[in-house]
Amino acid sequence: MSVISRSERAHASVTTGRDIVAFGTRAPSIHNTQPWSWRIDGSRIDLRADRGRQLHVADPEGRHLTISCGAALHHAVVRARTLGFEAEVELLPTAGDPDHLATIQLVPGRPDPEAEAEAELLGRRRTDRRRFTAWPLPDDRLDQLVAAAVEPGTDALTIREPARRVRVGLLVSKAAWVESHDPRYAREQEHWTLPTPEGGVPETHRPAPHPRLRVSSRYDDPGSESMGRDPVQGTDGLVVITTEEDGPRDWLRSGTMLCRLWTEAMTAGLSLVPLSQLVEVPDTRAALADEIVAGAGHPQLLLRLGWQEISRNPLPPSGRRPLDDVLLP
């Protein structure tokens, strides 16, 4: 039997904590802002919001910052479970400290094969904005995916009726127009999405607009002829993540829901792209809530889903801050 000293045990738990946090930082985040910081304290890991990385123009309430942190929390929990821990999560554990978003308490257990399968998917997840194939996404396929991903306190609404799909497309275009004509949004987006080894949105993740299809992406060059194209294609699956209430707890859970939908989509061979602009702009968010979600909860994020080309090369990972930059002493 090997004898492990106290200092070696402490070291092992720090290494484990670092491994879990490193996986957490692979999560998707609005404009790849990575708005989180973490503290490892023995078997406890704290997740905090980093307000210095909040989009104060596009996200003044911190909704999309918190959804991003919820996604990071989910990644960390899944990784902990692959390492043989039960991860006991408490959301918003400190009254009066809204930036303390969550605590993960690591309790020894057994490696969980389901978590391993999920971690494998999360590890190769990318926001792949390349054009989807034209194959339509059957409604029952989308419903199955949503049913498999459902998370307490959250729901996901699939938008099927042609008139409502057209309306959602118009709202996305309107939100994109509002943001691209307001220099404050444009400056903020440019600042955060500039690609660096530590963040931003790389060129490989900003596909050139398709010459025939009138489809655009949020990260197209504002001066390019892609502006004015449709942000949503006729064959896209459209899903809105909704929550019962509309506060930080619900936003954190929406982050989990986003990851679960993403891995379910990947398993089905689908690409998923979040579209957050219509939730960022107050008028289009109100229209989405009143006309589309219509009393079925608070809209948090719109998702486009579609079939990937079978022969598509995987995208490289986008940059992340070094681990030591996100760890608090």
Ligand X SMILES: Cc1cc2nc3c(=O)[nH]c(=O)nc-3n(C[C@H](O)[C@H](O)[C@H](O)COP(=O)(O)O)c2cc1C
- Out of 17, 21, 22, 32, name the contact with ligand X by CB under 6 A: 32
54 near ligand X, judged by CB under 6 A: no
Of 201 and 257, CB closest to ligand X: 201
Binding mask 87-126 toward ligand X (x if CB under 6 A, else -) reads: ---------------------------------------x
Question: Burial, 121: exposed, middle or buried (Cβ in 10 Å; 0-12, 13-18, 19+)?
Answer: middle
- Out of 28, 35, 209, 248, name the contact with ligand X by CB under 6 A: 28
Fill in the amino acid letter for 120: E
Q: Calculate ∠ Cα 314-217-54, nearest 5°.
A: 90
30 near ligand X, judged by CB under 6 A: yes
- Spatial neighbors of 13 by CB under 8 A, at least 6 apart, are 42, 43
Q: Taking a C-beta distance cutoff of 8 angstroms, is the pair 264, 158 a contact?
A: no
* Cα(109)–Cα(86) distance, integer angstroms: 6
Of 112 and 250, CB closest to ligand X: 250
276 near ligand X, judged by CB under 6 A: yes
Closest separation in Å from C-beta 321 to ligand X: 12
Task: Output the residue with the shortest Cβ distance to ligand X.
Answer: 28
- Residue 323 has phi, psi (to 5 degrees) of -55, -40
Nearest to 39 by CA among 30, 48, 29: 48
Question: Burial, 207: exposed, middle or buried (Cβ in 10 Å; 0-12, 13-18, 19+)?
Answer: middle
Of 106 and 293, CB closest to ligand X: 293
Of 27 and 80, CB closest to ligand X: 27
Question: Burial, 86: exposed, middle or buried (Cβ in 10 Å; 0-12, 13-18, 19+)?
Answer: middle
Nearest to 320 by CA among 68, 9, 42, 57: 68
29 near ligand X, judged by CB under 6 A: yes
Closest separation in Å from C-beta 199 to ligand X: 8
Q: Specify which residues 305 forms β-bridges with.
A: 237, 272
Binding mask 138-177 toward ligand X (x if CB under 6 A, else -) reads: ----------------------------------------
- Out of 37, 54, 68, 173, name the contact with ligand X by CB under 6 A: 68
Binding mask 223-252 toward ligand X (x if CB under 6 A, else -) reads: ------------------------------
201 near ligand X, judged by CB under 6 A: yes
Closest separation in Å from C-beta 59 to ligand X: 9
- Residue 230 has phi, psi (to 5 degrees) of -80, 130
Site size toward ligand X, by CB under 6 A: 22
Closest separation in Å from C-beta 254 to ligand X: 8
256 near ligand X, judged by CB under 6 A: no
* Cα(145)–Cα(139) distance, integer angstroms: 10
Of 15 and 224, CB closest to ligand X: 224
Percentages helix, strand, coil for the chain, rounded to the nearest 5?
A: 45, 20, 40
Which residues contribute to the site for ligand X (CB under 6 A)?
A: 28-32, 64, 67-68, 71, 126-127, 129, 201, 217-218, 273-277, 301, 318
